[in-house]
Structures are given as C-alpha cells and as structure tokens.
Amino acid sequence: MNKNVKLRSAQWFGSIDKNGFMYRSWMKNTGIPDHEFQGKPIIGICNTWSDLTPCNAHFRRIAERVKQGILEAGGYPVEFPVFSNSESNLRPTAMFTRNLASMDVEEAIRGNPMDAVVLLAGCDKTTPALLMGAASCDIPAIMVSGGPMLNGKHKGKTIGSGTAVWQMHEDVKAGNISIEEFLSAERSMSRSEGTCNTMGTASTMACMAEALGVTLPYNAAIPAVDASRYLLAHLSGMRIVDMVWEELKLSKILTREAFENAIRTNAAIGGSTNAVIHLKAIAGRIGVDLELDDWTRIGRGTPTLVDLMPSGRFLMEDFSYAGGLPAVLRTLGDADLLPHKDALTANGKTLWENVSDAPNYNEEVVRALDNPLVSDGGMCVLRGNLAPRGAVLKPSAASPHLMQHRGQAVVFEDYDDYKARIADPDLDVDENSILVLKNCGPRGYPGMAEVGNMGLPPKLLEQGITDMVRISDARMSGTAYGTVVLHTAPETAANGPIAVVQNGDWIELDCSQGRLHLDISEDELNARLSARAENLPVNPLIAGGGYRSLYIDHVLQADEGCDFDFLVGCRGADVPRHSH
C-alpha cells in the first residue's frame, strides 16, 4: 500500500454522501462487506469468455484464479464481460469487430469504479482489442492469455490448428485424400481448451504481449490446460494490486522501445502478418509512432529461431516445454539482438532481468542463432506503384524461388468471383501466373478477411504445384502459408492501384528490394485510376446502416492499423461526472 496514491475507485466508493451511498449500496446486494470499499484497490477483470469463442471458453475458471490472487494481495476483484471476438465463428471476419470490442473495453474501464485491470484474452482479435481499449485509458493493466491448445494428434501424426485445415483441403482438391479422411481430423486437431496451437495470430499476439512487457514472463506459451496457466493467473492477480500502488500505468510499459522489442521478437518467432496491423493499432492508442518501415528497419535480418508450424515443425505445447518466449528473448539478448533490454515490464523488472537466465531445453524447437529456421525472418514490407502505402509478405511462410518473380495477373474482382472461377478448367492460368484478389480490404470486404492465402486452381494442384504468388488487399490467417502479398494499400475500395489491375498485366515482385510493381506506364495507371474514380462503385453495404456503415465510413487503411479514425489516441481515465 502507498498512501500517496489516490485511488480512482474512491471517487465512487469513498464519499460520505448520497452518491457514495448509491454506489456502495447496490454493490452490497451481493453481500459485499463494508471494509471492501474502504481504500482497497478495485481491480477489474476484463473477460472475453464466451461459449461462441471456443478458444476462450475456459476463461471463467481463469478469472477465478485471478480473483484469488487479487484478494490475497489486498485488492478487490470485479469481473466484467466485454464483446468476445471469435476467430472461428464470427462472420464476415472477427477483424470486423476488433474495434467494436476495443470501444467496449475502453468505455467499460473509464466509466466504472476500477483502479487497474486484468485483461483476459486468447483468440486472435481479443488480444489487440483489449490492449487497444486499455491503452486508450492508460491505467495499470496486466494481460493473462488463455494459452494454446494441446498438440493436435491425428492417426499418429502431429497436426496444427488451421495449418492442417489448409494443407488437407489442398490435398482433397488434388485428389490425394478423401473427404471422409479430411473430416475425420476435426476432433483430432482441437484436443483441449485453448487457442490455436500453431504460431498463428493468437500465439503471435500472446508472444507480442509478453515481448511488450504487459504480461508476466512465460505467459505466451503455457498450454491452456497446464496447471502453470492457472498459477500464472493467480500471480498476475497478485501483481496487479502492487501495480496500482506503484502507479505502473500502461504508458510506462508500452513505449516506443517496447514496440521495437516486439517487432524484433516477431521475426524471431516467425509471427503472423496480422501483428503488423495490431501493433500499429495498439501503438496508436498509447501515442507511440510506429510505421510500416519500422518493420523493415528493426525486423529484417533477424533469424527465425522458433521452429513452429506453419513455417516449421512443432507446436506451442512443444514451445512451452522448450522454454517458451523467455528462451527466445534470451537468445536474442545474448547476441545483442534485443534492441531495448531495459524496457520495463509488468512485474516491475526490465525485460532482460526477466529473461537473462532463461533456459532453452530443446534446441530443435527454439533453435540456436547459427542454426535458424529462416535466416531472415523479418516481415517483408513491399512498396511500388501497386502498393504506394505498402503491402506485406511473410518470408518464412513463402517459397524462396517465388520471392523474386515476374508473372501475368489473373484477376478476381472479389471473393465471390474467385470462388466461382478458381476451379474452372478453362481458367487461363499456369504456375507462373500471379493471382490477384480485389475488394477484400478493410472497407471492401468489409473487415479485411483472412482470404489472402486463396487456394490454388485445382488443375495446378493436380499437377503438383504447391505455391504461386498471390496478391490481395486482404489479410491471411497466421496459421497459413505461401508466397502471399497481403494488406496492399490503399485497398480496392479506396481506389488503390490494385483496383485497376487487369488480366494479363505483368507484375514484378522482388522481396529483396521490397518492390511490388505493376508493369504499365504511369500515364496508363493514372488514366485507369481516374476513369475508375469517376465511376466509383458505392459500397452497397453502407446503405444498410448499423455498425457496418460506421465501420466502412471510419476504418483506416492497413498501413494505419485498421483502427477507426476517431479512436486513435489515448483519452486517459479521468473519472466522468456522476450518473445521478
């Protein structure tokens, strides 16, 4: 306890008048005794539990352990639900409601009596949504992730969440396995509570949260059903109470230095391209300037050490037994590859103090620097006349022989057009073609769905072709792979150059130069763009009103993190005026 700290919650429960009576009296209807309101930190537990978010389905039990920790340390826990983004169930895409969830979090924190918050996140978009909302309030916060599922096991083989679906679906289309065989893997792939066990977006964002310093060490990799997950929840509950007395607000942790550490870490873990968008959005909320080119400057040249699917062989359970993220951070730090060892973390220690002695128990899973999975695992940021505001490609998921490629475009106007024609035996396409998918960006889809790793034409799969260059304004699942150019900005719906690519146009991709070029003259490009601008199709989805119109009207482009324009920034946690 620190007597100099003024508790926010005292502005509800601390006054001896009509208002204090009201705030306390209704809380007492569950039998809370007087002394809980007399100067104890009130700790919110922001819970994304939902039966519809299976990855977070165990969160009520995690919350119970957090509560135990809070009580033990002298705080009082108040659990509250927020919008839960399910990557597996939500349509058109969970990304469509990431900002909605972040608004929910922000307003729930600011408007309620709490001095700090524990963020319970797991499934992909829940992690950025909670960090974005909490960052806009800037109160003390600690994150507890739900943890990954156990390894998938199917017919004696290890299979990974998502990655197995993409692989086996291509096998069905190529005629290598039957549909019955495919469907039989459903239960085997998802064997326990928890998030995707590959280095998909959920695992990536859990690692990003740990690298940013907003969790306790080892948070990212401990399996959901491991007792250590519950221990970590308990300890996080204890720690948040001290963070109140230390006034350790998020802005002291989420610094520019922390984001630089995270970008370097993303390369070392072979993390999801979605992290590029989410880190930008989180940084924007706390007032840290982060640009797409920071990913080139800080990330490129960093070897990928973690040998996990989709780029490698293992899964999160193996990663946890090998030593988890601390083993990676230590390897980076020992080689002076951790940009800011002195960045502060939630437990009050620096990142390096947390990991400098971290063991590595399995150098097949967390590889040594001189034996990396990929020698340059940094995100490849591409620019050129086809992507003036950038595009990204994940080199560790791509085919080396395609990372410098010139081919002719086969254009799909939108995802429906793609689905209607991709299996057409008469489609004019060969393995050197470049598939271009339009209208799948933030405004266009809407929500920038994970369709960028569009499956290959079946007739090429049957010939044994396994990868082609694909370009879109979409995202792709972190569990997916391929030589896939994503996040092309501006998007089709914003009349970006991708909108006017035509069948047969030559396109050049050069990852080593960071170049994405549509090989037509500047005059021709401008003529096509202005002709299209004059007849710009109105997005029919806007007319329907509701959240969808708000989304399309206000969502920023991929290079800006796809936040809403009016949500960028930190608005603090000043207590609003009384309600009555």
Positions in the binding site for ligand FES (CB under 6 A): 55, 87-88, 123-124, 161, 195-196, 200, 202
Q: Using the 8-state DSSP alphabet, how is residue 150 labeled?
A: P
> Smallest gap, in angstroms, from Cβ of residue 561 to ligand FES?
20
Q: Is 200 in the site for Mg ion (CB under 5 A)?
A: yes
Q: Is 201 in the site for Mg ion (CB under 5 A)?
A: yes
Pick what 88 binds: ligand FES, Mg ion, none; C-beta below 5 to 8 Å, kind-dependent.
ligand FES
> Smallest gap, in angstroms, from Cβ of residue 125 to ligand FES?
9
Only segment of 145-153, 199-207, 276-284, 432-440 that touches Mg ion (CB under 5 A): 199-207
> Smallest gap, in angstroms, from Cβ of residue 466 to ligand FES?
23
> Smallest gap, in angstroms, from Cβ of residue 442 to Mg ion?
17
Pick what 144 binds: Mg ion, ligand FES, none; C-beta below 5 to 8 Å, kind-dependent.
none
- Between 77 and 200, name the residue whose CB sits nearer to Mg ion: 200
- Between 195 and 472, name the residue whose CB sits nearer to ligand FES: 195
458 alpha carbon, distance to own chain's centre? 31
Pick what 447 binds: ligand FES, Mg ion, none; C-beta below 5 to 8 Å, kind-dependent.
none
Exposed, middle or buried: residue 224 (CB in 10 Å: 0-12, 13-18, 19+)? buried
- Between 161 and 236, name the residue whose CB sits nearer to ligand FES: 161
Choose among 232, 253, 158, 236: nearest CA to 197. Answer: 158
Pick what 215 binds: Mg ion, ligand FES, none; C-beta below 5 to 8 Å, kind-dependent.
none
Q: Is 48 in the site for Mg ion (CB under 5 A)?
A: no
Cis bond leading into 92, ω under 30°?
A: yes
The three-point CA angle 572-560-568 to 5° equals 15
Both tokens of residue 199? 């280095």
> Smallest gap, in angstroms, from Cβ of residue 124 to Mg ion?
5
- Between 68 and 88, name the residue whose CB sits nearer to ligand FES: 88
Dihedral, 555, 556, 560, 565 alpha carbons, nearest 10: -80
Only segment of 87-95, 346-354, 421-429, 569-577 that touches Mg ion (CB under 5 A): 87-95
Pick what 257 binds: Mg ion, ligand FES, none; C-beta below 5 to 8 Å, kind-dependent.
none
> Smallest gap, in angstroms, from Cβ of residue 132 to ligand FES?
18
E strands within 82-156? 116-121, 141-145, 152-154
Give the list of residues 6+ apart from residue 386 with CB closer than 8 angstroms, or none: 471, 488, 497, 498, 501, 507, 516, 517, 518
Pick what 491 binds: ligand FES, Mg ion, none; C-beta below 5 to 8 Å, kind-dependent.
none
For 422, the 3-state DSSP assignment is coil
Q: Could you give the C-alpha distances from 174 to 169, 382, 425, 459, 480, in angstroms and in order?
A: 9, 31, 13, 8, 18
Which of 86, 236, 477, 488 lies at the binding interface for Mg ion (CB under 5 A)?
477
393 strand-pairing partners: 380
- Between 94 and 460, name the residue whose CB sits nearer to ligand FES: 94
Burial 174-187 (b: 16+ CB within 10 A, else e): beebeeeeeeebee
CB atoms near residue 71 (< 10 Å): 17
Pick what 123 binds: ligand FES, Mg ion, none; C-beta below 5 to 8 Å, kind-dependent.
ligand FES
Q: Could you give the C-alpha distances from 502 to 280, 306, 488, 505, 534, in angstroms and in order?
A: 31, 39, 16, 6, 18
Cα distance between residue 288 and residue 277, in whole Å: 14
Cα distance between residue 443 and residue 319, in whole Å: 37
Pick what 220 binds: ligand FES, Mg ion, none; C-beta below 5 to 8 Å, kind-dependent.
none
- Between 202 and 216, name the residue whose CB sits nearer to ligand FES: 202
> Smallest gap, in angstroms, from Cβ of residue 291 to ligand FES?
28
- Between 190 and 255, name the residue whose CB sits nearer to ligand FES: 190
Q: Could you give the C-alpha distances from 190 to 124, 153, 320, 506, 526, in angstroms and in order?
A: 16, 9, 18, 42, 49
Pick what 195 binds: ligand FES, Mg ion, none; C-beta below 5 to 8 Å, kind-dependent.
ligand FES
Cα distance between residue 265 and residue 254, in whole Å: 15
Element (H, E) at 518: strand 515-518
Q: Is 204 in the site for Mg ion (CB under 5 A)?
A: no
- Between 158 and 362, name the residue whose CB sits nearer to ligand FES: 158
> Smallest gap, in angstroms, from Cβ of residue 161 to ligand FES?
6
Cα distance between residue 194 and residue 228, in whole Å: 14
> Smallest gap, in angstroms, from Cβ of residue 391 to ligand FES?
24
Do 326 and 354 contact (CB within 8 A), yes or no?
yes
> Smallest gap, in angstroms, from Cβ of residue 86 to ligand FES?
7
For 310, the 3-state DSSP assignment is coil
Only segment of 74-82, 116-124, 182-190, 546-554 that touches Mg ion (CB under 5 A): 116-124
> Smallest gap, in angstroms, from Cβ of residue 87 to ligand FES?
4
Only segment of 84-92, 136-144, 297-305, 436-444 that touches Mg ion (CB under 5 A): 84-92
> Smallest gap, in angstroms, from Cβ of residue 129 to ligand FES?
13
What track of x and - describes contact with Mg ion for positions 117 through 136 (by CB under 5 A)?
-------x------------
Q: Is 451 in the site for Mg ion (CB under 5 A)?
A: no
Element (H, E) at 64: helix 59-72
> Smallest gap, in angstroms, from Cβ of residue 55 to ligand FES?
3
**Residue ranges that bind Mg ion, judged by CB under 5 A:** 87, 124, 200-201, 477
